[in-house]
Amino acid sequence: MPAPTDPLYPLQWHFPMLGDIETIWADYSGAGVKVGIYDDGIDYLHEDLAVNYDASLHVVNDSNNPVDPFPVGPADGHGTAVAGLIGAAMNGTGSVGVAHGATLTGVNVFNAGVYGFINAVDMNPFMNVMQQGVKFDVINNSWGRTPDYYPYDYEPTLDAIYSDLVATGRGGFGTVIVQSAGNNSIDSNGSVANASRFTATIAATLSGQAAWYSNHGTSILVAAPAAAFTTDRTDDADNLLSLISVPLYSTPSFVDIDDDGDLDVVVGTDPGALHTFINTGTSFVQATGAANPFNGITGLTAPSFVDLDGDGRADLVSGAANGQLRSFRNEGAGVFTALTGADNPFNGVDIGSYSTPSFADIDGDGDMDALLGNQSGGLLTFFNNGSGVFTQAIGGANPFNGLIVEGFSTPAFVDIDLDGDMDAVVGSQNGTLRTYLNNGAGVFTVATGAANPFNGFDVGRFSAPTFADIDDDGDMDAVVGEEFGTLYVLFNDGTGAFTSQSRFGYSDGEYTSRFGGTSASAPVTSGVVALMLEANPDLGWRDVQNILANSATFVGSAYTATVAGANENGVWQSNSAANWNGGGMHIHTNYGYGTVNAYNAVRMAEVWSLFGEAQTSQNEIEASGSAVFNVNATSAIAGGVTRTIDIIENVFIDHVALTLDFTGYIWDLFITLTSPDGTSLVVSDRAGDSSWGVAWPWTFGIDHLRGELSAGTWTLNIIDRNTSRSDFIRDAKLDIYGSSYSPDTVHHITDEFMTMVGFDPARSQIVEADGGRDWLNLAAVTEQIELFLNDTGGSLALGGVAAASLQGAFENAVGGDSNDGIYGNSFANEFHGGRGDDIIVGRDGADRLFGGRGHDVLYGGADDDNLEGGDGNDTLRGGAGDDVIDGGDGNDTAVFTGTANTFVDLRITTEQNTGHGLDRLVGIENILASAGNDHLIGNAANNILNGGSGHDSLSGGEGNDDLHGGTGDDVLEGGTGNDILRGGAGSDTALFTGAVNTVADLRTTAAQDTGHGVDRLFGIENLFSGEGDDWLIGSGAANLLSGGEGNDSLSGLLGDDTLEGGVGDDLMIGGAGTDTALFTGAIDTVVDLRKTGPQNTNHGLDTLRSIENVTSDAGADLLIGNNGANVLNAGAGDDVLRGGRGDDTLIGGLGNDILSGGPGADVFIFDTGLGPANVDVILDFTVLLDRIGLGAAIFDVLPFGGLAATAFASLTAGENATADHRIIYAFDLGDLFYDSDGEGGVAAVKFAQLDAGLALSHTDFFVF
């Protein structure tokens, strides 16, 4: 999908860290998923939230009245920011939420005056509103207590409510609870909510590393970016600068860049680039690329503008991280030229680090002096001698000598007290502003308390002031940069009093870039969960946690690092699962299984239900075991005290709860737990931090053993890191939660597979050794997949590179988004192609093949297969067996190959014998057959029917059909609609049926209105029409035109054509070539080719022109030729044939016919079964001119060609035939006999009557 047009979207840096979320957004937005945000309320009137907000889901109080969650105080912007990260609308305005179509509802639990206040003395209202969370699909808790291991009374009750929510929410699938890990930079396990198996506890990352403040530990499921840009409480005023944001440490300065008379803003950043924003009068628009005059200049952090050369234009002097100053001459028209060497008046000046210049006439001599801040917090003065030469004032000569702020001093000048001289305002690391008033003589005195107009103003950290008339009222307003790259505005009322806008939330305006913490990482995750639940509403709450874990990706330090990276508390390791990327799952105390990946998570969610029933509270199982310590850990040896716990039950692990019963100081203990498979986890490592003594059990949550099995010996080791105080351990218990063991293994493969193989080459062998029906889940793979299975293993290639060998029997697989190839074995496979144009082959076995999205090719192979194409234009081939072939959406083709005759009727959606099995076709638009004489019938859709080789019959039916006859003599009937009929090789027939006036012209391949639709005819030789008054026109080929009933006009044109008018008054014009008029049916046909006008043929008043031949059917026919060389073929019946002049061929056919050749060399044909009912009379046989043709199929003892002399006998009365005689002429009577065996036992059969006394010889006969 196109990128969102919301203006803050490019600044929402967390999105690229979530994988290819724009691809996910093409299908999902979180629509229909209800997210409850328990926080300090939501500004539900916000322009980016209102469209997704559902007030009908507000919780109610004890009186059943809805509780309004609108924020109470101005500072209550936390929940609004959280809501925006989850579900800000994609509407071209402001920011975008991860699930921008999800339903949002707020629950205010942080205002004392609101029902449900979390810190109330009476906790019942809070527990009540938490219980009402059952109405939500997802609950986001961007809050929690400090994990100090104190057993607060409310926590067991809250955990019990969470247990109910996951058991009963979403109709039993469970409400998903997303919990912030907290921002204390300690182990998250010290909070019951964080350690609970019912919550998905989320840590935070910044710039791909662990956030310095984020809690960590074995209870962390995954990490997510601490997103900053989101919705904020709507302010009363409109600050045009509120949407300006740069990466970090904004240091603004104003200058007219584009010479249009208004002030533009240039903002420095710590990365060392200057960002230019052009003032349009109604907004500030960032100038990028070549439009930014400082594009490509690096190292500049603090811009200031002053006329160095007296040309009336403001030149640039910028500080830098290295403490030096760089100068640029303003050439006009927005062009700045660097001044180097002696041309730079500050060449060689180095004041330490992070120089920040500002300019004013400090000494009152009429020129602009320089005041420089730096990292140490000092202020250095450089006086201008009037010629652009600046000299540092040392000691007492510096009016700011000894005036030190808290570091990173950033000065600016403005006439605060309106006395005509320039006072100094200085920002610092602590985020406040100090004012130094000028007495007019260059002496500056700090203004404190109320005398400082900025007293009490605090931007957080690293304040960087500058001044400009923002509101065009003639006085100078303050614009202040800060650590996170945004700008604050304080308006001057004209008397030197500065007032901030009426701010609500975090920043001026309706959006902020100052949000963060695990408060931000949780809603990012909740948004991903909403996308997952839209993709698959049938996920159990345990499924959601497992998907988040399996789909998470690397972040932070390298996997192979042996030393913790920045802000980390451990290194990456793999647990001992065997089904993730060829081995165990990567885990880290700071990141859990890694950072949330929306693409991976949603793709896995789509297919997760294939792998088994939803994992909910109802089917969760537990295994437990315990160990007795009764030892003072303080007195234990250096290696600590170790106990083992044996677990008999085999649970496929989701979560492990370790409960330790002790008296002492929990933060003294270094606790490790080792699973039966050998994964060793540090459960607690506070290294002797101070804490209060406790005397109660504490339960640690361990989420990092997913995919392992519980049965076996667990090892628990505890070391006391503080031997100065007593820590007595009584016992420990393990409660292991998860699913029943099953040999049906799901192997999850992601794009990290090759990376993991690089770390551990053994992962390149994916082993399946425990039987069952197993899955290869490649749904999250973006590269092209080539999977080949055989009965003992197989191979896997990713992106065209060999990735893994498979060992063992694998049955099922799910593909990804690319154009994948999946090939099965002899087992009953189930394959899902996913997206992309996939090739899926089941081979032997009763397979289930699903194409998914894309234009897929599915081939079932042997046995009874089930093929479903899904979306896209798919090609499905069932193969042998009784198959179900379901095309799904799109324009789909069923393929039938081999030599069998295929019979398919797409109108039938139940079983039909296709010649390849008892197949069921659903959602199929097209058929492709192969060898064989096929019979294919379409339906009301636009069908493509392809007969392939063989003599095929294709009928399109309704719709705009495309019929391909292929090789062979085919019959194509388009039916209604605008059809294309392609005859291909062979003598092919277009069939038009029904009481429609058909008009068809074989001379053109262009579209023509045939009366049945606007059709196109290619490679068609013959036309058959129905009951209408038809007009059929041939081409240059030998055409057969059959009009059927109705008064038809048939025109053969070129070629040797056959014209059948049928019943009705027809006009038959043969045209050039030797053409035949055909009359069929049991009708006494009467045709006289000498007539060119209408004649009663007994089929109608027909007109025959340019017709040379006549063929009739059953009936007592009278066929008369003309002066041409006619072929008269009467068929069955006692017929009369008169050739007339010309060399005619007369074929009496069955029956006792009378044949008269007339003048000319005529041929009389005998090729039908002999007998007394089939004796023809030849009235005018002329020896040596006429000839008699004998069909070899009837006269079967005679060889082809001329009749041998010995085979013929002309006998008079009393003469006997010899054994060689086969054709015998009775000279006296004129009878003509066929004797198949000479003097044998079979009597001669009379087949013709000629005149007696003819001088017949063998030369008057031929065999054909």
Q: Residue 166: phi, psi to the nearest 5?
A: -75, -20
Q: Give the C-alpha separation, 1087 to 1107, whole Å.
A: 11
Q: Give the C-alpha separation, 244 to 767, whole Å.
A: 54
Output the six-digit token pair for 460.
């957080």
Distance spanning both ends of the chain, measured CA to CA: 73
Q: Closest by alpha carbon to 104, among 162, 20, 39?
A: 39
3-state secondary structure (DSSP) of residue 291 = helix
As a whole number of angstroms, the longest Cα–Cα distance in the chain is: 166
Q: Give the C-alpha separation, 736 to 624, whole Å.
A: 6
Task: Sort strands 1058-1060 and 1040-1042 into parallel, antiparallel or unpaired.
Answer: parallel
3-state secondary structure (DSSP) of residue 1082 = coil
Q: Give the C-alpha separation, 515 to 232, whole Å.
A: 9
Q: Give the C-alpha separation, 572 to 578, whole Å.
A: 17
The beta strand positions in 93-241, using DSSP E, are: 103-108, 138-141, 176-180, 199-206, 209-210, 222-225, 230-231
Q: Give the C-alpha separation, 501 to 506, whole Å.
A: 12
895 within 8 A of 856, measured Cβ to Cβ: no
Choose, from 6, 39, 883, 970, the residue flagged as catalytic.
39
Question: What residues contact residue 982 under an 8 Å CB cut-off, 6+ apart?
Answer: 962, 963, 964, 965, 972, 1018, 1019
Q: Closest by alpha carbon to 534, among 35, 1046, 1157, 1095?
A: 35
1166 within 8 A of 1188, measured Cβ to Cβ: yes
1167 within 8 A of 1131, measured Cβ to Cβ: no
Q: Give the C-alpha separation, 142 to 110, whole Å.
A: 12
Quick one: 213 exposed, middle or buried, by C-beta within 10 A (0-12, 13-18, 19+)? middle
Total residues belonging to the chain:
1264
Q: Residue 139: phi, psi to the nearest 5?
A: -115, 130
The one-letter code for the residue type at 706 is R
Q: Closest by alpha carbon to 524, among 607, 606, 595, 603?
A: 595
892 within 8 A of 869, measured Cβ to Cβ: yes
Choose, from 14, 46, 58, 78, the residue flagged as catalytic.
78
Q: Give the C-alpha separation, 43 to 945, whole Å.
A: 60
Q: Give the C-alpha separation, 956 to 944, whole Å.
A: 8
Q: Give the C-alpha separation, 379 to 399, whole Å.
A: 9
| Per-residue burial over 1021-1042, b = 16 or more CB atoms within 10 Å of its CB, e = otherwise | bbbbbbbbbbbbbbbebbbbbb
Q: Closest by alpha carbon to 1051, among 1074, 1064, 1032, 1077?
A: 1032
Instruction: Give the full edge-to-edge strand order of the sheet including 669-674.
Output: 641-647, 712-720, 669-674, 680-685
Residue with tokens 């994988």: 19
3-state secondary structure (DSSP) of residue 730 = strand
Choose, from 245, 519, 617, 1035, the residue flagged as catalytic.
519
**Residue 727 is a catalytic residue:** no
Q: Residue 291: phi, psi to the nearest 5?
A: -70, -20
Q: Closest by alpha carbon to 522, among 117, 108, 35?
A: 35
**Residue 311 is a catalytic residue:** no
**Residue 1084 is a catalytic residue:** no
Question: Which residues are part of the catalytic machinery?
Answer: 39, 78, 519
